[in-house]
Structure 1
């Protein structure tokens, strides 16, 4: 059945205009983004097929080549899906400066939507003033973490440049499991010591996984 054959009130675009985006299903929202279906299936059927195979989090992370191979959609639609989710991640990351960090939950709430779904490890520093207000965030490294890529000099250079009083370390585990490795623990303790020498407190190191996180401070690892 073509979308135009549906009653007007059941067509995704018309439903959004009348009822608002928050009242549409995931499939209806995706149908609006994709606009048209594939040969032999309308766009709503295509959207339902995608969400029958993937939940929304999995769909946000799936490779374009996999969408082409497993679902049979072309480059244009695969790129539309990827662009849609990337905009969502960028919105989640938008304008963090000025947030006051009262506890670990505050920082996890801000960064988990952005970093929890990343496919590569990202190591980030979040720099705070004396009132624990975010003054800067910086991605320091992307890729597998090891001793050759974690340089205290770079982490604390940014802190000194920004006159930061403290910082919080963040990195994600693409596996979804935020359990720290022995290296995670070792390098964190070294960075805490370096911060103490410079008078810049490392308040916490938070590992972000799939809808969950681990705080070194809460686990008494620092």
Structure 2
């Protein structure tokens, strides 16, 4: 471990690296986190619903719990449920849509954030009073798993029926290995293979940078 530097020594080092007292190139605005375009599109859909709500309630503000409760009800009423026989949306769907709205608002309005306390309160409202008032559904989609028959179909398609001419001879082996990776791992395979929701992000491994051992 090197000798501990004093604060004065560190200040001199910062100045030698170009730091000065001019702070005109920075501002006091909060900085929202970066989100993928696909995610931002989901946020924008709920923001559009908020603007539609504002046409009827022009003085509405998301910083009042009463307004947020009313908007959550409006949001729930606007959803066509798929899992419920009566067409009612599920509690989870309403919660997800509301979270998208909050995220969209906070990104677009960094100086006027919706507080975490308000968000938590509306989550409890959706799960409790609103669920009871509207009869929101608690149905969930049944989990589906890849069967051995499905897997064999994919392998036959790849090795017997795929007429694509691959640039690299090993590509077909790699694809087969990656299919098995998707089947046998619970990890985020989107970090290995670029997923639809991460298209164009540069996430995922390239063929020439990948070494895969298949036993």
Q: TM-score range by the shorter chain?
A: under 0.3
TM-score, structure 1 normalization: 0.26
Q: Which has the larger radius of gyration?
A: 2
- Structure richer in helix, relative to its length: 2
TM-score, structure 2 normalization: 0.27
Give the structure, 1 or 2, with the largest relative contact order (CA under 8 Å, sep 6 or more). 2
